[in-house]
């Protein structure tokens, strides 16, 4: 069952849930993946509601989002998903099917092909309207030494939020 919400109804809640992490879902052809993000959030940019996410170029998710130009965000509201967050935050699609490992039910987005995770309640469907790879020459040294000492870099994706809702399994 879908319950309509305003795009900003849960914006503060989403920020709070970034620690321990929320699910970023991607799809390319028949391959689906999820990973945990701890950075990002809901903003207004160019007069549009935008979900900003950062993805390392070394992640399998990077290739999927580069191909599909879309993603979904799934946020647990009432469920403790610590085990699933730990798996999806430390394992790669290259090593396992995280949807299968976590017993997630993928449900096709209402407006895009990328699925949501049925077991989480809050969802955002996003189309990438802009992306920018971080310029490491201008990233502060204190940030570089903590987050970029392995030469992997982030791309910042600006996903226009085209649908948002609460999904509750019947």
31: CB partners within 8 A, 6+ apart: 64, 93
Residue 140's domain is classified under what CATH number? 2.30.110.10
DSSP 102: T
Per residue in 27-46, pLDDT (tens digit) is: 999 999 999 999 999 999 99
Domain containing 26 equals: 2-167
The pLDDT assigned to 79 comes to 85
DSSP 36: E
Helix segments in the chain, DSSP class H: 11-17, 60-68, 82-90, 98-101, 141-147
The pLDDT assigned to 24 comes to 98
Closest CA to 53 of 79, 29, 34: 34
Task: Give the chain's domain count.
Answer: 1
Closest CA to 34 of 58, 59, 17: 59
């Amino acid at each position: 069952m879908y319950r309509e919400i305003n795009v900003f109804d849960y914006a503060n809640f989403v920020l709070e849930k970034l620690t321990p992490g929320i699910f970023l879902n991607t799809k390319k052809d028949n391959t689906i993946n999820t990973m945990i993000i701890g950075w990002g959030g809901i903003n207004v940019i160019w007069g549009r509601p935008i979900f900003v996410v950062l993805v390392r170029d070394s992640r399998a998710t990077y290739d999927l989002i580069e191909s599909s130009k879309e993603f979904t965000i799934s946020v647990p509201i009432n469920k403790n998903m610590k085990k699933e967050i730990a798996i999806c935050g430390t394992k790669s699609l290259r090593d396992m099917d995280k949807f299968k490992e976590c017993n997630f039910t993928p449900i096709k987005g209402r407006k895009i092909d990328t699925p949501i995770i049925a077991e989480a309640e809050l969802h955002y469907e996003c189309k990438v309207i802009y992306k920018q790879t971080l310029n490491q020459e201008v990233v502060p040294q204190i940030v570089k030494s903590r987050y970029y000492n392995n030469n992997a870099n982030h791309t910042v994706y600006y996903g226009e939020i085209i649908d948002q809702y609460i999904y509750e399994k019947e």
